[in-house]
Amino acid sequence: MAATAYYLTRLRNLFAVVMLSGVYSLFAAALYMVLDAVDVAFTEAAVGAGISTVLMLGTLSMTTDKEKVRKKPPLTALILVFMTGGVLVYGTFDMPRYGDPNAPIHQHVANRFIERSGEEVGPPNIVTSVLASYRGYDTLGETAVVFTAAVGVLIIIGRSKDRSMPNAKAVRRREEDDDITHEPSAKEKEDASS
């Protein structure tokens, strides 16, 4: 995992970077499996390794797959990253050992969920009970976040191609873009006018 992260920062070919970030997500999913967080691992594999890789490739096809190389390494950013990393590592010193039964997270509401969710909610998968019932508000918020993300994408770049009134700017940019592969105007004009 560390090797993947290292090469992610070193590579300049963004296509390889996207592929490697998918690999990284898959490793993360495996790590969650080891930690017995099956639902999280499932989500990480589906979203991190699957969908986001496809979306990143879609973005690459709209832009370019070469990263601009800077002449001077950005020192301020490097210092900031090291400081943040240092603080985070310092924070982990206070964390209880993995699997420690006296850790606060095992003392709070978790016990009640494990003991009572069978009679209070029902489903054998406690994660589902917590997600959809005990924490129903949170999940409603998460769904709203996904909804907002899609609406945001639609507002920013969605007003072209499949609308009755195509976005003139987007069409113009597409015509100027000369290394497009598909056969030219007849189809495009039809699309623009329909």
Q: Which residues bind other proteins (CB under 8 A)?
A: 15, 38-39, 41-43, 46-47, 50-51, 54-55, 57-62, 65, 119-125, 127-129, 131-133, 136-137, 139-140, 142-144, 146-147, 149-151, 153-154, 157-158, 160-162, 170, 174, 177, 179-182, 188
Q: Contact at 8 Å (CB) between 171 and 160?
A: yes
CB of 7 to other proteins, least distance (A): 16
Q: Which is nearer to other proteins, 76 or 181 (CB)?
A: 181
Q: Which is nearer to other proteins, 45 or 103 (CB)?
A: 45
Which residues on neighbouring strands pair with residue 66, listed in sequence order? 13
Let me know: does 1 contact 27? Beta carbons within 8 Å. yes
CB of 148 to other proteins, least distance (A): 9
Write down the least CB distance from residue 152 to other proteins, Å. 9
Output the smallest distance, CB 1 to other proteins, in A: 22
| Residue carrying the six token digits 């489903």 | 123
| Angstrom distance (rounded) from CA 184 to CA 175 | 9
The rounded distance, in Å, linking the Cα atoms of 34 and 19 is 23
Q: How far is the CB of 181 from other proteins (least distance, A)?
A: 5
Instruction: Decide whether 27 or 130 has the Cβ nearer to other proteins.
Output: 130
